[in-house]
Structure 1
Amino acid sequence: MPMNKSARRLASIAVAAECCDVSTKTIRRYIAAGRITGYRIGPRLLKVDLEELDQLLRPVGGAA
């Protein structure tokens, strides 16, 4: 089954934290603050959309 462009790239809290070089606690804080959406898979497993994390990135300094 082919994936379409709008498909979510879901990752665990640990993987998301590693991708952003932050702690898992930071990812959980982002979810609690509403900065990103957490998706519950079953009773305990929580995942986040990596696209939402990418959207948090902002250039700083002399970037055009």
Structure 2
Amino acid sequence: MPQTHEAPTFVGISRAAEILGISSRTMRRWIDEGKVQGYRLADHGIRVNQADVMKLIVPMSHASGVS
């Protein structure tokens, strides 16, 4: 049976930053540093894959330096 793949959901930098509780400036820096992949979609500015943003949310027990 063939697998179906959903198209990725892209969100703007401001929305991605809001999800993570960071500033838009930090989100742009993370894109520049390669921590998050940015995509330029036509005339819609830079977007990021929402699934990639959600992967950055880590439970506290797995965060580095937290016991």
Question: TM (normalized to structure 2)?
Answer: 0.71
Structure 1 residues 42-51 or 9-18, which shifts more? 42-51
Please name the residue that 1:15 is paired with. Answer: 15
Please name the residue that 1:49 is paired with. Answer: 49
Please name the residue that 2:31 is paired with. Answer: 31
Structure 1 residues 38-47 or 49-58, which shifts more? 38-47
Listed as ranges, the gaps of 5+ residues in structure 1 are none
Q: Which runs of 4+ in 1 moved over 3 A?
A: none
Larger radius of gyration: 2
SS at 2:52 equivalent:
helix
Letter in 2 for 1:48: V
Question: TM (normalized to structure 1)?
Answer: 0.74
